[in-house]
Amino acid sequence: MSDLLLQVRHVNKSFDGTQALADVSLDLRVGEVHALMGENGAGKSTLMKILAGLHTPDSGEILLRGKTVSLRTPAQALRHGIAMIHQELMPIPDMTVAENLLLGREPCGRFPGWIDRRALRTEANRLLSPLHVELPIERPMRNLSIAQMQIVEIAKALGHEARIVIMDEPTSALSERETQSLFVAIDVLKRRGVAIVYITHKMDEVFAIADRVTVLRDGCHVATRPAADLDADALIRLMVGRDLREIFPKPCAAGKEIVLSVRGLTRAGAFRDISFDLHRGEVLGLAGLMGAGRTEVASALFGLAPAKTGEILVQGRPARIRKPADAMRWGIGMVTEDRKGQGIIPAMNVKHNLTLAALADFCRGPFIRRRYESAVAEEHIRGLAIRTSGNRQAIAELSGGNQQKVMIARALLTQPRIVILDEPTRGIDIGAKVEVYAIIARLASEGRSIILISAELPEIISLCDRVLVMRQGTLAAELDTAHATQEEILKHAMPV
C-alpha cells in the first residue's frame, strides 16, 4: 500500500512492572484522521508518547514509510515529522504569538543570533493563513483563548513540516464553536496529506471527523475499524468489553422539604439574581454553555468565590458562607470541576487525600488517630470501589476515575446534606462514569440533595429530577426532566 505512512509493530512497554502496552500494533495512512479510543489507563497516552519520542518502547519497532526509525527524544520525532499537541498546552505566555509560533526556528537577521522581526511576522502569517484564522500575532500569547492556542500549535506543526500530528483530547476545554473551527483546521491538515491521531473520549467527535478508529483496552489492541462501520453502542462495547444496558440509574422521588434556598444571588461579571430551591433527596441539574456561570454559582454556594449580594438559606436559616470551611459547617460539600488544580494533592497518598477535609473528626486534640483514620479510609475505598493497591498508594498514580472517587469520598466524609458535583464525569472513562452515576443515585436515596453540573445533557436529563438552565449569568429556565429534551435545554442555553 503506497499510502501507508507509519507502522507501529508489536510494541511493548512497562513501567515498574506494570504492563502499559502489550504487543500493540497500529498503522497510519496518508491524510487520515485516526481516532484512538479507550478508557483511561488503556494505554493511549503511552502509545502516543512513544511516537512523540517521550517514551522508549521496551520492544517492537516503528516504521516510517517502510523504514525503521528510532524515536528517542521529542526532537528526533519532530525531525521525522511527528508532532504532538499536548492536552495541556505549553506556550510561553509573555512572548508574542509569532514568537511562540517560530520558537526554536527564529529567522536570523543580518548578524548571527539576531532575529529578523519582519521575516518572523511574514513567516508566522504564512503558517497561519491556510488555517483560515485571524490571530493577533504581535500580541502576547496569554491574550489568546485555549482554542486559539491550539490553532497556534497546529500551525507550529505545519511549520515543522509535520507529516503526523498527534492530538491528545484537544477539545476537552473548547466550546462548541471552537471545536468546529478546530475541525476546519484538521481538515486543512488532512488535505495536505498529514495523518492525524486523535485521542478523545467524545463519541460524537469520533463520528464527525475520524476515518478509522482504533480501540485499546488494558494496554492491548482490541480493534481497528473504519468509523463508518461503527455506532456509539458498538464503540462502547469495544472499549468496555461488555454491554452497558443500564447506564443511568433511575432517579428516585425527591422529597418536599426544602433544604437550600438561594435568593437573588449576584456577583458582578459572573452571575446575577440567581434564585432557586433545592429539596431533600433531589438531584438538581445545572445546565448551560461554557461561561454561563454554572461553576461560578456553585463556587459561591461553597464559598470558593463568595457572592457579593443575595441570600443563601440552609434549612430556612440564613447562612453566611465566605470560605469552604463555612460551607462545610452548613452541611455543604463540593467536588470541584478542576480535579488537578483544586482537588487532589498529588504528593499525598490516597488515605491522606481522602480524609483531608474531615481531618478534625479523626483527631484527639491536635493528634491524628491514625488507626481510626486508616480504618475509615479503607471503608470508603471499598464502599466506592476505588481501585488502588492500598490506602498508602500515591494518588497521582490512580486513574482519573479513581481520583474522582477519592474526591467524592473526601466530600462525603464531611457528612454533607447538600453535595455539589461540578462536572464529576469529565475526563474519566465510561466504566468509572457508570460508577459515579450509581453513587449519585445512592446519595439521593440516602436523603442527600445534589446539585449536578454537567455539559453532557444526557447525564442531566437521565440523572436529575429538575434542571436549571443558565444563560450568560442568569437563570434562563427551570425544566422538569421528565419531559425536557436536549433540544429544549439547548434552546434556553443559547445566547439571545
Partner 1 sequence: MPCPFEWKTTAPRIIIVAAWLKRFGLVLALVIIVAALGVAKPGYLEFGNVVIVARQISINAILAVGVTFVLLTGGVDLSLGSLVALTAVITAMFAHPGAYPLIVPLFLGIAASMACGACNGVVITFGRVPPFITTLGMMTIARGLAYVISGGRPTADLSPAMKRIAGDLAGIPIPVLILAGVALATWVILARTRIGRHIYAVGGNENAAHAAGINVRRVKMFAYVLCGALSGLAGIVLVARVESGQPDAGLGYELDAIAAAVIGGTSLSGGVGGVGGTVLGALLIGVISNGLDLLNVPYYYQQIIKGMIIIGAVWLDRRNATRI
Under the rule (CB under 8 A), what is the footprint of partner 1? Answer: 15-19, 22-23, 217-220, 302, 304, 323-325, 327-328, 334, 336, 341-348, 352, 356-357, 359-360, 363, 366-368, 370, 387-390, 392-394, 397, 410, 414
Q: How far is the CB of 177 from partner 1 (least distance, A)?
A: 29
Query: Long-range pairs for 259-262 at CB < 8 Å and ≥24 separation?
Result: 259/314, 259/315, 259/417, 259/418, 259/449, 260/301, 260/312, 260/313, 260/314, 260/315, 260/332, 260/418, 260/449, 261/311, 261/312, 261/313, 261/316, 262/301, 262/310, 262/311, 262/312, 262/313
Q: How far is the CB of 173 from partner 1 (least distance, A)?
A: 18
Q: Is 421 exposed, middle or buried (0-12, 13-18, 19+ CB in 10 A)?
A: buried
Rounded CA-CA distance 395/397 in Å is: 5
Angle at 341 between CA 338 and CA 346, to 5 degrees: 120
- Cα–Cα distances in angstroms (integers) from residue 14 to residues 19, 57, 426, 480, in the given order: 4, 8, 27, 49
For partner 1, the closer CB: 150 or 414: 414
Q: How far is the CB of 384 from partner 1 (least distance, A)?
A: 15
Rounded CA-CA distance 94/141 in Å is: 6
For partner 1, the closer CB: 120 or 328: 328
Rounded CA-CA distance 235/215 in Å is: 8
For partner 1, the closer CB: 292 or 411: 411
Q: Is 258 exposed, middle or buried (0-12, 13-18, 19+ CB in 10 A)?
A: middle
**Beta-bridge partners for 469:** 287, 477
Q: How far is the CB of 329 from partner 1 (least distance, A)?
A: 9
For partner 1, the closer CB: 52 or 358: 358
For partner 1, the closer CB: 214 or 336: 336
Q: How far is the CB of 46 from partner 1 (least distance, A)?
A: 13
For partner 1, the closer CB: 170 or 416: 416
Q: Which DSSP category does 494 fall into?
A: S
For partner 1, the closer CB: 198 or 302: 302
For partner 1, the closer CB: 58 or 273: 58
Angle at 137 between CA 105 and CA 109, to 5 degrees: 40
For partner 1, the closer CB: 217 or 380: 217
Rounded CA-CA distance 192/312 in Å is: 56
Q: How far is the CB of 19 from partner 1 (least distance, A)?
A: 4
- Cα–Cα distances in angstroms (integers) from residue 410 to residues 131, 326, 335, 489, in the given order: 45, 16, 8, 32
Q: How far is the CB of 395 from partner 1 (least distance, A)?
A: 10
Q: How far is the CB of 435 from partner 1 (least distance, A)?
A: 15
Task: Evaluate whether 166 touches 55 at the Cβ level (below 8 Å).
Answer: no
For partner 1, the closer CB: 334 or 452: 334
Q: How far is the CB of 410 from partner 1 (least distance, A)?
A: 7
Rounded CA-CA distance 125/134 in Å is: 9
Strand intervals (E) in 117-270: 164-168, 195-199, 212-217, 220-226, 258-267
Q: How far is the CB of 387 from partner 1 (least distance, A)?
A: 5
